[in-house]
Amino acid sequence: MKNLIVDKKYDNKKLNTFLMAKLPTLTNNLFYKTLRKKDIKINGKRINENVSVFEGDQILVYISDDILMPSIKLNIFYEDENILIIDKPYNIEVTGENSLTSLVHKKYENLEFKPMPCHRLDRNTTGLILFAKNNESLKILLDKFKNHEIEKHYKALVYGIPKDNFKRCEAYLFKDTKKSQVYISDTFKKGYQKIVTTYSVIENYSNNTSLLDVQIETGKTHQIRAHLAYLGYPIIGDGKYGINSINKKFGKKYQMLCSYILKFNFKTDSGILNYLNKKDFVLDVKLN
């Protein structure tokens, strides 16, 4: 059973929108099956319709953890006494209930310090996630990410052929928390924040798609997905910022975006993690 309280972000939203955000592995089929069985309560009352929920509502969902917890095997890419790198699959959040972090904590339940993630990826973005295995490493790595001393590269399969083989793109991003969506503008507007996205073309294909290496100097929500779409190169499979007809054409149900390189470029002393300096971790992944 899950006991959830509706926060302001989901005030006056549909029940399925709230639950599927809070329970990433909940599918539409399972949601409506649970509704039919009246196994969802709102403020103590059983319901069988996809009603709207409001801030402060208490939601009880009678689904076992065995069903909600994804049956995936942790793909450990690298591990030592201080860090853990996981190759994250799609359809799972990094943090929260029934998340990648939950799975990691379950595996390392006997450790005094449970490994903690040092950065995030979207639910349907795959690839390398760095965890710290002790408090000292966590403090160092969070500081290194903040100071851009850890370099992340993404592979993105996009629709379209860029004119430039390399481009550094500046724009402004606005995050609409109510819609869980972001918007891009070439010019500054109130509430928008500057973003910088750099891409280089790895390969172009005859079916009007391209494989890009992408880096972001500013790590904003959905930045890569929204910015590339704004530039005219939507990521194939992206249901939010992509083109549905293109996604169907290629048969992709989640975005072809993968965090495939972690580079440690420490500029200052890194204490117990000095041995990581100048190391690259590269995931061999094919998206096309």
**Confidence band of 98 (pLDDT split at 50, 70, 90):** confident
Contact 203, 165 (CB under 8 A): no
Give the integer Cα–Cα distance in Å for 272 and 283: 25
Predicted local distance difference test score (pLDDT) of residue 118:
98
**Confidence band of 26 (pLDDT split at 50, 70, 90):** confident
**Confidence band of 124 (pLDDT split at 50, 70, 90):** very high
Q: Is residue 122 annotated as a catalytic residue, yes or no?
A: yes
Q: What is the mean pLDDT of residues 185-199?
A: 97
Catalytic residue, candidates 11, 80, 87, 122: 122
**Confidence band of 69 (pLDDT split at 50, 70, 90):** low
- % residues pLDDT > 70 (the chain): 99
Mean pLDDT of the chain: 94
Nearest to 210 by CA among 254, 256, 262: 256
Give the pTM. Answer: 0.80
Give the rounded distance of the alpha carbon of 141 from its chain centre. 19
Predicted local distance difference test score (pLDDT) of residue 70:
56
Q: Which domains does the chain have, with CATH numbers?
A: 2-65 (3.10.290.10), 154-259 (3.30.2350.10)
> What residue has token string 């910015």?
227
Task: Tell whether the model's pLDDT for residue 24 goes beyond 80.
Answer: no
